[in-house]
Structure 1
Amino acid sequence: MVKKAELHVHLEGTAPPALVRKMAARNGAKLDPTTFKSVGEFAWSNFWEFLDCYDKAAATILTKDDYRLITYDYLARCAKENTIYVEMFSSPDHAAEVGMSYTDHLEGIAAGIDDARLEFGIEGRIIVTCVRHLGAERALAIARLVALTPHPYVVGFGMGGDESRFHPDDFAAAFNLVTKAGYQTTSHAGEFSGPESIRASLAALPISRVGHGVRAIEDPELLEELAYRRIPLELCPGSNIATGLYKSWGKHPFRKFMDTGCLVTLNSDDPPYFGTSIGHEYEQAAKIFGLSKADLKNITRNAISAAFCGEELKEKLLSRL
């Protein structure tokens, strides 16, 4: 089985329904029954309903130990699929909504990373994210936390949320702050908004990678620029199909990105919501796009090379390939 690495997964979005119910029960948290479609499925039918469902499930994460649990649980599942490294997006805004401090939030995740490493040998790191539709002031507040509260497992800063809200220019202060503090950055762009979202993000923000970026396929000049500049793309085919951006795996442009020389990676985004996993993404990519073991190994190599962790860890990970 090919070794794997993942750069784009939302930690709060990794908890499957059974774990969400478990946390709600032990925390005495009220759980809206409309959160679930069935015992093992979340209930949503479009992107906006997905965001709402995600928030309802994430609201059951109330303690530092909850964050340890969901981190360990996800890394354990990844390790069983021969994954050796995961960078997880964490959301201090979700933690703050339930009264959890930034440091408790990080300490819980770090404990889960340590537990998973000890048991499975998998490595994990954290990319702290702001939420775009919460606005620039909140993003700057999160950026200040990152810059002023360093943690050995926090390796970068990112932005998710509704692409249609605000302009990348509005978040330049936040991204510049963390960049000056020595962190690399990434931002969601070109998922539900078109290639202009990617262009605007590259122009306004000091990003090292593009989260999703799949809509670049609609702009040949942008595609050529991404390939020439070797800007890594955090592609998430299963997510794009589940949210209706593409009708099927066969319609997804992943192979076209490869063929044009773009630096591509495979990622699961919010796996239990989209019926996927990092192993499933590799499996489907091989099957649908005709990828060889060498192709898949190169995708893993791309991810490790594009990771925000230190060079020493990268070398150790690359040696495991």
Structure 2
Amino acid sequence: TFLVAFKEVSAHLRGPEDFEFVTYRLMQQLKEETVLHAEVYVAVGVCLYRKQDFAAIFEGLERGRARGARDFGISLLWIFDATRHFGVEEAQKVFELAARYKDRHVVGVGIGGDEVKAPPELFRGVYAYAEDHGLRLTAHAGETGPAESIWGALNLHAERIGHGLSAAQDPDLIEELAYRQIPVEICVTSNLRTGCCKTAAEHPVKNYFDQGMMVTLNSDDPALFGTSLAREYQFAQETYGFTDEHLRELARNSFEASFLPAEKKLELLSLFDAAAAR
């Protein structure tokens, strides 16, 4: 299962140099896929749970990011992720670290983990703290939990929804997400590998797109799921009939949904549009 693989792989990431190495390698791979900007989740909650020295780990992450930015010209921002079933107090620690490192390419926070054991309502206070400290807000919601989990994430003022599969069960929620253009981070391969969707035909990605929701395609955990962003786009076209124009729209959505300043979004969008026109 994914959780077994995650534990096995992440157990080998111990010292700052390990995190520097994987960050640099990630940026090298992103360059090969012609990615211009990435917003990368760091499982800070897991590091704290393992009693790792996160201050040292973060220095490794930042060294890898700085080297990757210099060598590959890629912009990268961090999102600090709390593990919701570890509890609210642990999430608060993660969000406090995000606030501490906010001036060092940490742009936002999120929660992942067991939606049923730890529904979004529990985290109102910690999300308010993050918002007050100028952090951008994301939440995994509706991956394994019901549509109510997504409504709950919206009530936390989440600006992006991770996965959002169960919105398919609630027409009012689809209408709300489409009206407000709340980005939904879709990870098709991940959803199939974890069994959240039994078959590709069950996946709501094309339905969401056709109903006007702001969908982005994402790789989730590319190394663990054996995928890449390029493969996600290819799979979407081959499986769901997204046209080239649709794929360009999905790619543009990713820039719009990013937490970059408006002027940087425009700069990258113009680079993308020029490349897409060739």
TM-score of Structure 1 vs Structure 2, range by shorter chain: over 0.9
Deviation for aligned residue 1:98: 5.0
1:23 alignment counterpart: none
Check 1:148–1:111 CA distance in 2 against 1; reply closer, same or farther (3 A cut). closer
Q: Return the match for 1:116 from 63, 68, 77.
A: 68
State the secondary structure of the residue aligned to 1:318. helix
| Secondary structure, counterpart of 1:320 in structure 2 | helix
**Does residue 305 of the first structure (1) align with residue 268 of the second (2)?**
no
1:179 paired residue among 118, 122, 131 = 131
Q: CA deviation at 1:122?
A: 2.0
Q: Does 1:95 align with 2:74?
A: no
Q: Out of 307-316 and 96-105, give the one that drifted further.
A: 96-105
The residue identity in structure 2 corresponding to 1:70 is V
- Offset of residue 97 of structure 1: 4.5
2:12 to 54, 60, 75: 60
| 8 Å Cα contact 1:147-1:177 kept in structure 2 | no
| Aligned residue identity for 2:163 | H
1:51 corresponds to: 3
What SS does the corresponding residue of 2:65 show, helix, strand or coil? helix
**1:216 and 1:222 in contact (8 A); partners too:** yes
Q: Amino acid of the residue matched to residue 239 of structure 1?
A: S
Shift of 1:310: 2.5
Partner secondary structure for residue 13 of structure 2: coil
Q: Which amino acid aligns with 2:255?
A: I
Q: Which residue of 1 aligns with 2:203?
A: 252
Q: Which amino acid aligns with 1:122?
A: I
- Pair 1:291 & 2:242 matched: yes
Give the unaligned 5+ runs of structure 2: 273-278
Counterpart of 1:14 in structure 2 is none
Shift of the 254–186 alpha-carbon distance from structure 1 to 2, 3 Å rule, reads same
Structure 1 residues 242-261: Cα deviation after superposition (integer angstroms, max 9, x where no partner): 11222333332111000000
Q: Does 2:118 match 1:166?
A: yes
- The alignment-based identity, stated in percent, is 35
Q: What is the CA–CA distance in structure 1 between the aligned matches of 2:73 and 2:200, rounded to whole Å?
A: 31
**Contact 2:102-2:135 at 8 Å conserved across structures:** no
Map of 1:21-40 to 2, 5 A cutoff? none
Aligned position for 1:189: 141
* Between 278-287 and 116-125, the greater mean CA deviation after superposition: 116-125
Corresponding position of 1:137: 89
Check 1:61–1:296 CA distance in 2 against 1; reply closer, same or farther (3 A cut): same
Q: Residues 65, 216 of structure 1: CA spacing in aligned structure 2 closer, same or farther, 3 A cutoff?
A: same
Matched, 1:218 2:169: yes
TM value normalised by structure 1: 0.80
Displacement of 1:239 in angstroms is 0.6
Deviation at 1:275, TM superposition (A): 2.3
Rounded to whole Å, the distance in 1 between the matches of 2:167 and 2:187 is 14
Report which structure shows greater RCO (CA 8 Å, sep ≥6): 1
| Cα pair 1:81 1:279 within 8 Å, conserved | yes
1:281 equivalent in structure 2? 232
Amino acid paired to 1:223:
I
Task: Determine the C-alpha separation between the residues in 1 that align with 2:87 and 2:102.
Answer: 23
SS of the equivalent of 1:83 reads: coil
